[in-house]
C-alpha cells in the first residue's frame, strides 16, 4: 500500500530498443538518444519528446520517463528504453497492455489503482498504484499524483473524480506537470511554481482551448505544451495566454490525427 511520501520504485537500466522492439545486440548499435525541446535545470537539461496524442517521453540525466505509452513497440523503435513509466488512467489512448509488455522491460511503472488492477501479473509485479494526493519518488525523482477529472456536469462520466492521476515531477530545480485527462480542477488552479505544463484539450473529454487559456492564466506555468488536442483550434491560445507563459505548439500527431 502506498503511503504519502513513502513510495519508492526501483531502478532500471537504460537500454537501446531495436527496430523490432527488442534490445540491440550488435556491436555496431549506437546508444539511442532522445531528441526534442530542451529545458535547462540546475542539474542538467530536460528533453521533451512528443510521441503521439497523449504519449510523450521526458529525458533527464540518465532517465527516460515514458508517459502513457500506447501504439505498439514500433512507435518507440530507436528511442532510449524506459527507465520509468507513468500511466494516468485506463482509457485506451493512455493505457495499452501489449505496448507495455513490449517496451516496459524492468522499468518501474506508476499507475492509478484502476490500471494497476488491469495489469497482467508480470507487469503488476513492477508497478505501484498511486492515488490523488500521494507523494513519493521514482528512481530518485520526486513525484506526486494530483487529481485529473472532468468538472463540467455533462462530462463527468468521462473522467470521474478520484480515478485518474495527473503527475508532478521534480527534475532538478524544475517542476513538470503532466495533467492527464482533465478539466481545470481546484488543485490545478492553485498550483504555483510550475516550470512546464502539458495540458489536454479536446471535447467532449477534456478542456476547450478557452478553458485551458483561463487555467493557464490562473496558475501561470512558465511553459505550456497543449497535447491530446485532437481537432481543437489551438489558435485561441496564441492570443488568450498572458505574458507569464510561453506557448509551445508541437506536432503531437506525426502518424495522422
**Residue 234 in this model has a pLDDT that exceeds 80:** yes
Residue 15's pLDDT is what? 31
pTM of the model: 0.87
Kindly list the distances between the CA atom of residue 182 and the CA atoms of 113, 186, 228, in Å, as whole numbers in the listed order: 17, 11, 11
The whole-chain average pLDDT of the chain stands at: 88
Helix (H, G, I), strand (E, B) or coil at 99: helix
Q: How many CB atoms lie within 10 A of CB 22?
A: 13
Q: Which is it for strands 135-138 and 141-148: parallel, antiparallel or unpaired? A: antiparallel
Q: pLDDT digit string (tens) for 150-190?
A: 888 888 787 888 889 999 999 999 999 999 999 999 999 99
Question: What angle is formed at CA 41 by the lines to CA 40 and CA 43, rounded to 5 degrees?
Answer: 125
Amino acid at each position: 500500500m502506498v503511503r504519502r511520501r513513502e513510495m519508492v520504485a526501483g531502478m532500471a537500466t537504460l537500454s537501446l530498443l531495436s527496430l523490432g522492439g527488442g534490445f540491440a545486440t550488435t556491436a555496431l548499435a549506437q546508444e539511442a538518444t532522445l531528441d526534442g525541446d530542451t529545458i535547462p535545470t540546475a542539474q542538467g537539461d530536460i528533453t521533451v519528446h512528443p510521441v503521439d496524442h497523449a504519449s510523450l517521453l521526458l529525458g533527464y540525466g540518465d532517465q527516460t520517463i515514458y508517459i502513457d505509452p500506447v501504439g505498439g513497440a514500433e512507435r518507440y523503435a530507436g528511442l532510449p528504453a524506459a527507465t520509468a513509466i507513468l500511466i494516468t488512467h485506463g482509457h485506451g489512448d493512455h493505457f495499452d497492455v501489449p505496448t507495455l509488455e513490449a517496451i516496459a522491460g524492468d522499468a518501474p511503472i506508476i499507475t492509478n489503482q484502476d490500471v494497476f488492477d488491469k495489469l497482467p501479473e508480470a507487469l503488476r509485479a513492477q508497478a505501484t498504484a498511486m492515488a490523488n494526493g500521494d507523494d513519493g519518488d521514482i528512481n530518485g525523482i520526486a513525484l506526486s499524483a494530483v487529481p485529473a477529472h472532468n468538472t463540467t456536469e455533462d462530462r463527468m462520466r468521462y473522467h470521474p473524480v478520484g480515478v485518474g492521476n495527473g503527475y508532478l515531477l521534480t527534475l532538478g530545480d524544475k517542476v513538470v506537470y503532466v495533467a492527464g485527462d482533465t478539466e481545470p480542477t481546484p488543485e490545478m488552479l492553485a498550483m504555483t511554481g510550475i516550470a512546464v505544463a502539458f495540458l489536454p484539450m479536446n471535447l467532449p473529454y477534456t478542456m476547450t482551448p478557452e478553458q485551458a487559456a483561463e487555467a493557464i492564466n490562473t496558475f501561470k506555468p512558465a511553459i505550456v505544451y497543449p497535447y491530446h488536442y485532437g481537432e481543437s483550434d489551438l489558435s485561441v491560445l496564441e492570443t488568450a495566454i498572458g505574458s507569464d507563459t510561453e506557448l509551445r505548439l508541437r506536432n503531437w500527431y506525426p502518424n495522422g490525427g
